[in-house]
Structure 1
Amino acid sequence: MKLLKQLTLGATLFALAGTIGYAQSSIEHDPLLDRKKYLITDYGAVGDESTINTKAIQRAIDTASQAGGGVVVIPEGVFRSGSIFIKPGVGLHLEKGGVLQGSQQLEDYPKRNTRIEGHFEPWRMALVNAQHVDQLRITGEGLLDGNGEPFWAAFWQRREENPDCTNLEVERPRMMFIDQCKDVLIEGISLQDSGFWNIHVYRSQDVTISGVSITSPNGTPPDRAPSSDGIDIDSCQRVTVRDCFITVGDDCIAIKGTKGPRALEDESSPPVEDILIENCRFDSGHGVVTLGSEATIVRNVVVRDCVVTGWNKLVRLKLRPDTPQTYENLLYENIVFEAGGGIFDVKPWTQFFDLKGEEPPRSVVRNVTIRNVKGWTGKWGELMGNPLDTIEDITIENLEMKIENEAITLGPVDGLKVKNVVVNGKRFESL
């Protein structure tokens, strides 16, 4: 009965997505931002772009935590550091002109058992880490600079040596790892040049990422930051991303869980539910919001009132042949889409899949709506699954586009509805 109520609530929220959102924040003034300030320069930090300030910044965090809480402040200057670990009761504020710059030495990021690509293994920690920190606030007008060029170069060198190398074969630090936190606000800051993923939020609830700019080089290798996802929403519930700008060398936003034929038994990867993305601008990336590659159950995702440019794809769903996946209740509405990548990129994702000797599972994509979309793109794209997959109830409504390639690679779809769709001046009744 509890599960039925949850599903009914999720469906109701999805139906009302045009008027309400998920994880909405109505706080006009957040008293958590008024806590005692701890200036890192008072603890020995030097903003000269060369001193490694990890110990000084951690000392400020630890002092604030031991005193009952406070806000650690990065003032104007470039403060280089390895991994820092925010403690309960402590926030981080980057003042205008303040830069927390990542060290380019891998050893400055300790290796710990951590969540990465849908499982746990020893891996380098992020520049900024927070675990079990409720009411977490990371704010300001300053910059997190991943300083990631050496890590990108190491990856591309390995990829040249072995074209089949995996993402995890070359260690690279993330910019930010938010692990099992509740009531999180990341607001106003900018992130650039992360060595790996930018913001990775794992198994957290009631998260708002607002007014954040995330940039990484997005050209062709070696002039691209590999695996530089903007925001990775991993096994989370009630996450809002609003008023952000993202241009990266991989997915702008990726929704993640776990993978493998027994993925549904993985208690460390609960369903991703109730995600709202609104009023954002996406430039280059592999996908505006990509589901997968490691993901099991994702439901109730709304992407609305966004502008997409550069090279990007609107609906990108990775369907693994080795993982039982359910992607349902996805709404894309009020989108200006002027990107070459295409409307659909829904297809099997076979990179590094492993059935582990078991029979192929079945995945389901259902209740996907695309409405009120205008602009230009290079192609319709692909809408198809693995042989056992079901794709059903896809609605395209009020779409007016210029599309260079009107052909679509279309697999079996049950309930494909086309309403008021105009492409290159011609009305389409079906695809």
Structure 2
Amino acid sequence: MLKNSLYFFLLLIGVQLQAQPGWKLPTVQEPHFGKAVYRITSYGAVPDGYILNTKSIQEAIDACSQKGGGMVQVPSGLWLTGPIVLKSGVNLNLAAGATLLFTPDKSQYPLVKANWEGFPQMRNQSPISAENARNIAITGSGIIDGNGDAWRAVKKEKLTESQWKKRVASGGVLSEDGRIWMPSESYARGDALKDPGRITADKTGAFYASVKDFFRPNLLVLTSCDGVLLEGVTFQNSPAWCLHPLMSRNITMRNVVVKNPWYAQNGDGIDLESCSNVRIENSVFDVGDDALCMKSGRDADGRQRAMPTKDVVISGCTVYAAHGGFVVGSEMSGGVNNVYVSNCTFIGTDIGLRFKTTRGRGGIVENIFIRDIYMKDIPGDAILFDMYYMAKDPVPLEGEKAALPKVEQLPVNETTPQFRNIDIRNVYVNGAQRAVLLRGLPEMPVKDIRIHNAVFQSDNGVSIQDAAGIGFKNVKIFNRNTGPVVDVVNAQDIRFDGLLYNEQVPLLIRVSGSGSKALRFTNTPYHKTTKKLETAAGATVAAVSFQ
């Protein structure tokens, strides 16, 4: 049934995208495994949550791979373990009632050369990892728990008073301002430094060891793998990112649950980094940071790698707590293209569709097709394109302020990021702080964005700054506040066809800046607004046409 549904979804998208040159639907090859079964109990594993089973589980994985592959079976029970490495041909299968619990003892996680946000970095070994593996899987009905609370710092504003007192009483270290709890002195030393994990010739093993606790591992890291299946399992409580396929291809993820506490710093759901040929379907995310995130390396390192994330199909997913539901960036310096997202629901997610970058990244994000998205109770923007990402929570916490960026025009070069050619259709939003924010750079506008067939029930309407070639068609905006339905600053070639909005809105459109021009409204009932147009800061009435 799932394969048939996906086939018809791809067929439908293919019909709709025939007019888009260069768009090609991906083919994802799933792995296959031998029939041999290797039970971890045969290698001495004990399910009591006390005995460390690292050696037994790894021996079962190694034997399975060396003998041609098959299933490594984890029966029901509480299996305490240190980090394990998947090998080619191995399907790690967790039975119902099985919990693979990773030890909070950090001494069990050796420092290894790895990658973080696109940079070569020293990290603690991930609880589960694989490198250059072929045909690997994690399947079943069990739980994989990364014991992330032993690793993560926590902001005071993200806990209740009693939770905060309990956390402080447990030990650890407070930041100088008393607003952040850190698990150890080692973590605090690393937190005070800039890029302590970056691998450079001047850093010694003793230095890395002195800040070891700061190098939180991602729960699952799959590097340069081909043929990956994640199915049915719950991944939860990761120290940092939960699922991190890196420079891998032919990845299938279905019916997976990804859970992190909502306060989990860097507690992303899945980060596809420089990956290709990926299918994610019918999975649920309830996490502390971005949920479904597309990345491709950061700044010069990402541009040098030059491996975009591409050919990705996402369908039937649900996101609860997260900074963003479907997200691109901000580490997208190698580019992101050919991504197809459909039939996803975001409930209580800070931002729904979140595209973020900043100067210095470079990279091109293009050919993204999104349809049938349903949102409820979004605290921030339902749809956001922002080229001024400042690495802060998208919804300010108590005591924080969302400062406006400094707007200045700089030269265009390889460090200038680009968002272009993105098609969004059939979006229905019941509750958001703002319907849409499109904010480009003066030297590089957000370009060629189409939003068709959408209903936004939001506090505020649409805000557009430094954008070009933007089309809204059959869009309804029911904003609760008295500000303009559409607010435009230095944008051009903006088209609204069939815009509907509240009765007796005080102002339809406010236009600012001398760079605003070619703003067109058609098939729009202008009698519903008290005032149709207001101009400011050098904009003229000639910039807007009403038909």
Same fold (TM over 0.5): yes
Compared with structure 1, are the counterparts of its residues 134 and 13 closer, same or farther at alpha carbon in structure 2 (3 Å cutoff)? Answer: farther
Contact 1:262 1:323 in 2 (8 A): no
The residue that corresponds to 1:226 in the other structure is: 265
Aligned residue identity for 1:413:
A
Uncovered stretches (5+) of structure 1, i.e. residues with no partner? 1-10, 219-223, 353-357
Q: 1:312 is matched with which residue: 350, 359, 373?
A: 350
Equivalent position SS for 2:216: coil
Identify if the C-alpha distance between structure 1 residues 67 and 13 changes in structure 2 by more than 3 Å, giving closer, same or farther.
farther
TM-score (norm 2): 0.68
Correspondences of 1:280-291 after superposition (within 5 Å):
280-291=317-328
Q: Tell me how far 1:109 sits from its aligned partner.
A: 1.7
SS of residue paired to 1:314: strand
* 1:263/1:280 CA distance change after superposition, 3 Å: closer
1:370 and 2:424 aligned: yes
2:236–2:260: 8 Å Cα contact kept in structure 1? yes
Secondary structure of 2:107's counterpart equals helix
Q: Is the 8 A contact 2:321 2:347 kept in 1?
A: yes
Q: Partner of 2:229 in structure 1?
A: 185
Aligned residue runs from structure 1 range 4-19, under 5 A: 15=17
Which residue of 248, 267, 277 maps to 1:238?
Answer: 277
Shift of 1:407: 4.8
Gaps (5+ residues) in structure 2? 1-12, 157-171, 181-190, 198-210, 393-411, 480-498, 502-520, 523-543
The 5 Å alignment of 1:105-254 reads 105-153=105-153, 160-161=175-176, 170-218=214-262, 224-254=263-293
TM-fit CA distance, 1:147 = 1.6
Deviation track 1:1-58 (CA, whole Å, cap 9, x = no partner) reads xxxxxxxxxx97982599x953456x7xx752x5211111111111111211111111
CA 67–84 in structure 1, closer or farther in 2 if over 3 Å, else same: same
- Which residue number in structure 2 is paired with residue 391 of structure 1? 446
**What TM-score do you get using the length of structure 1 for normalisation?**
0.86
> 2:461 is aligned with what amino acid?
E
In 2, the alpha carbon distance for the partners of 1:328 and 1:96 equals: 41
The residue that corresponds to 1:48 in the other structure is 48
Residues matched between the structures, number:
404
Partners of 1:313 and 1:382 in 2: CA distance = 11
Change (3 A) 1:21 1:101: farther
Contact 1:241 1:278 (C-alpha < 8 Å) held by counterparts: yes
Map of 1:330 onto structure 2: 368
What code does the residue aligned with 2:435 have? W
> How large is the Cα RMSD of the aligned pairs?
2.9
Higher deviation after alignment, 343-352 or 410-419: 343-352
How big is the shift at 1:359?
7.1
Structure 1 residue 381 displacement after superposition: 4.4
Name 1:6's counterpart in structure 2: none
Contact 2:87/2:136, CA 8 A, preserved across alignment = no
Secondary structure of residue in 2 paired with 1:65: helix
Q: What's the CA shift for 1:66? A: 2.4
Q: Which has the higher contact order (CA 8 A, sep 6+)?
A: 1
Which is worse superposed, 224-233 or 57-66? Answer: 57-66
Q: How much does 1:367 deviate?
A: 1.0
Please, which of 278, 292, 310 is the counterpart of residue 273 of structure 1? Answer: 310
Alignment equivalent of 1:423, drawn from 460, 469, 477: 477
The amino acid across from 2:330 in the alignment is: S
Change (3 A) 1:418 1:96: same
CA distance in 1, matches of 2:478, 2:154: 44
Question: Larger Cα Rg: Structure 1 or Structure 2?
Answer: 2
Percent identity (aligned):
29
